[in-house]
Amino acid sequence: MLNTVTRVASFNRPWSMEPFARRGIGEVYLRTMHPVVFERLMRLQGVSTDVPAADLRAYVPLLKRTDGGAAFLRIMRGFERTEAFERRILGALAARAFPAQVLWGEDDPALRLEPHAEHARQALALEAITRLRGKHFVQEDAPQEIAGHVARLIEAGA
């Protein structure tokens, strides 16, 4: 599990995500989102390592795609934050029949290690959280480390 939410009923969107979730505002915010501005936002909230600017700027056309970003805005607005949904998430994680681990970007300003990583650890009934260098998009900051941890998890389960 990488930097995500398990306790959805009490989740409040981070400031960087909130405008996208608002009808009207989200459309304008996304329409005016320039790749250079998005790169700066990613460096502030998303990544802490020297990810190439071109890689970060590539997110904007991917978010907008052929529908102008409608699919992305549906995702931003579609976070179900009910207690019933949270119970289903926690139940599914507890009942899983496969190994798991929590890998977390230790400098994530959007989903902080405490409490979110700890919630994930508890939901998976694990002993530890593996802290990785990085912010929210830890897969951009620490791809090799993540690959190594996943490989070891697979090897241990084989």
Instruction: Express each pLDDT in 86-141 by its tens digit.
Output: 999 999 999 999 999 999 999 999 999 999 999 999 999 999 999 999 999 999 99
Last residue of a domain, which of 28, 54, 77? 77
- In this structure, the answer to whether residues 58 and 43 fall within a common structural domain is yes
Q: Which domain holds residue 37?
A: 18-77
In the chain, how many domains are there?
2
Examine residue 119 and state whether it is found in any structural domain, yes or no: yes
Assess contact for 43 and 136: CB atoms under 8 A. Answer: no
**Quick check: 140 and 46 in contact, CB under 8 A?**
yes
CB 73 within 8 A of CB 24: no
pLDDT at residue 148, as a whole number: 97
Q: Averaged over 40-46, what is the pLDDT?
A: 94
Are the CB atoms for 131 and 157 separated by under 8 Å?
no
